[in-house]
Structure 1
Amino acid sequence: MKPVEGTIAELLVGVTGNQKSAIINLVLGVASCDAPANEAELDLLQTYLDILGVPTLRQALAQLDATDTPGMLKELALLSNKQKELVVLLVNNMICVDGPANESEFTLATYLFDLIGLPVENYVTLVEQANRQT
C-alpha cells in the first residue's frame, strides 16, 4: 500500500462508520463475484474489519441493507481522493489474495470505482505502482 501517502490510520480520519461499512461491502462484493469466498479471502476480510474498526461483518451487511447499493456508493463518493486510493488497494489485495484477478473481478471493480469518482486509469496506475513497490 505504499503508493498511498500517510498511514492507514491517518487516511481513516474523518471516515464515518457508514463509509467504513461501505468499504467492507465493496471489497466483499468484488471478491465474491467470481466464486464463494475462500479461507484466504475470509482471513483478509477479518483483517479489514479490524483495520477499519467495523465490529462484525454482520454490522457491515446490515448497513448495506439499510442504505442499499446506490446509497453505499454515495457514501464512498464522499471520500477524499487519497481515501479512495486506499479503497482501490484494499479491493485489489482482496482480488489477488486467491490468485490473479479475473475479468469479472476487474470489470466489476472498475465499474464501481468509476461510480465513486475514480476513473479506470487511476485504478490501473495505483495497482501498477503498488506492484512495482512490492
Structure 2
Amino acid sequence: MVEFRLKSIYLKKNPQRVREHTDGNLVILRVGDQEVGTTNYHHFRVPVHATVDIRYLEPNLNSILRIIFQLEKSDLSIQYFTWNEDEKHYIDTPLHEEIIQSQSFQHILQSVSFTGENNFSYVTNSLQRLTDQHY
C-alpha cells in the first residue's frame, strides 16, 4: 500500500495582501496524511489570498508528492518527484496509475478543506469507493 506523510506546507502571498484583518482574511486549512490505514488531520491558519504549497513524503519509494492551489481559485496542480540516485536529487516524474488509484492519495486529496467566516470549501469531491478498498 502506498503511504504519504505530511512533510511541509509553504505559503506564497501577494505582497499587497499580506496584512491580516478581522474581516475574514484568515481561514483554517485542514490537510490530512495517510499512515497505516489512518488519516491524520493537521490544521493551519492561513490568509485566504495565499497560494498553498503542500508537500508529502512517500518513505518507501523516497518520493515527494506536491499539491499547489490558491484558496480563492479553482486551480490545482499536482507534481510527483522521485529520487534519482545517480544524480543525487529529486526529478519530476509522471504520476503512476497505482498512486492515483491508491487509498492514501485519494484520502489526501479529499481531506483538504478550508473554513472561515465567509468560506467553506473542499478542494475535491467527497469520498468515493476506491478499487483498493475492501467492503
Please report the TM-score for the alignment, with normalisation by the length of structure 2: 0.30
More contact order relative to length (CA 8 Å, sep ≥ 6):
1
- Judging by fraction of residues, say which structure has more helix: 1
- Judging by fraction of residues, say which structure has more strand: 2
Is the radius of gyration larger for structure 1 or structure 2? 2
Please report the TM-score for the alignment, with normalisation by the length of structure 1: 0.31
